[in-house]
């Protein structure tokens, strides 16, 4: 996967999470695992497959 593809996916993820009601401080995405952070703790973890990205 190239940088451009990762950036498109990252933009979609951030756009989705901005519309949710659940609070979070930041998102950490490495192309395979998405971690949702709140108060310096990981509160949710999603794998690429969980997000429907194959």
Can you tell me the distance from the alpha carbon of 34 to that of 40, in angstroms, rounded to the nearest whole number?
Answer: 15
Can you tell me the distance from the alpha carbon of 2 to that of 14, in angstroms, rounded to the nearest whole number?
Answer: 19
pTM of the model: 0.75
pLDDT level of residue 40 (50, 70, 90 thresholds): very high
Average pLDDT over the chain, rounded to an integer: 87
Q: Is the pLDDT of residue 44 over 90?
A: yes
What is the structure's pLDDT at 54?
62
Cβ-based neighbour number of residue 3 at 10 Å: 8
């Amino acid at each position: 996967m190239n940088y451009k593809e990762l950036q498109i996916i990252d933009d979609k993820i951030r756009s989705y999470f901005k519309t949710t009601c659940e609070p979070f401080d930041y998102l950490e995405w490495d192309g395979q695992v998405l971690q949702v952070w709140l108060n310096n703790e990981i509160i949710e973890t999603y794998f690429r497959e969980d997000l429907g990205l194959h």
